[in-house]
Amino acid sequence: MEIKYLGKKTIFLKGKKESVVVNPDERMANKDRPRIVIKNETKIEVDGEEGNRVVVMGPGEYEIGGIEINGFSAGVGETFYSVTIDGVTVGILGQLKEQLNDKRVDKIGGVDVLVADIGEGSKLGAKAIMSLAKKWGANYVIPVGYNSDNGDLKKFMDESDTEGQEAVEILKVDKDNLPEGSEVIILKENK
């Protein structure tokens, strides 16, 4: 499975048979045209394609083309998504208005990759995100949603003791070849 960062809060997950775009913005929502779209924000419009497009929005269990998607309530109007592609589980942690309580953390279970929104307004700092990654057994943590100009990423890297990390174009994840512990990965913005 491959993970690309398309900018802002948008992540592209490419499996062997299906692809998923998470949180597309208006300019990206229809660009790559994956069949499966997951979105946390209702203001984003996504064009359908003769009924082939599946848009997942909100808590629930979904299976689409062999991809399992679980949406968990993460507070008022917020959803944490767990997406399993090719045996790899990716957790999508949006900007939370409040900390996740222990019951919600336990309900989510585990993830291999944690994608976390660290942008302005996020109520979770790097320490809280890394703590969640540890609880969920995440092998990779990918920060998204940051503004490079205001220092969000630098602050996250400093707080998580991962300064000097080089950004990569694509993260290739193989369920049988995951690192020990939690490793922070910075993805270059692919537009």
* Cα end-to-end distance, the chain, whole Å: 19
pLDDT band, very low/low/confident/very high, at 33 (cuts 50, 70, 90): low
Q: Read off the pLDDT of residues 106-147 as tens digits, 9 standing for 90 and up.
A: 888 889 999 998 877 666 778 888 888 898 999 999 998 887
For residue 67, the model assigns a pLDDT of 92
Instruction: State the average pLDDT over residues 93-116.
Output: 83
The residue ranking higher by pLDDT, 177 or 99, is 177
pLDDT band, very low/low/confident/very high, at 91 (cuts 50, 70, 90): very high
Instruction: State the average pLDDT over residues 3-14.
Output: 90
Residue 8, number of CB atoms within 10 A of its CB: 18
- 105 burial (CB, 10 Å; 0-12 / 13-18 / 19+) is middle
- Side-by-side strand order, sheet with 140-144: 60-64, 67-73, 79-85, 88-93, 113-117, 140-144, 183-184
For residue 27, the model assigns a pLDDT of 55
Q: Read off the pLDDT of residues 43-89 as tens digits, 9 standing for 90 and up.
A: 444 444 445 778 888 889 999 888 999 998 877 778 889 999 999 99
Sorted by where each starts, the structural domains of the chain and their CATH numbers stand as 58-184 (3.60.15.10)
Contacts 24+ apart (CB under 8 A), 12-17: 12/190, 13/83, 13/85, 13/90, 15/66, 15/67, 15/85, 15/86, 16/86, 17/65, 17/66
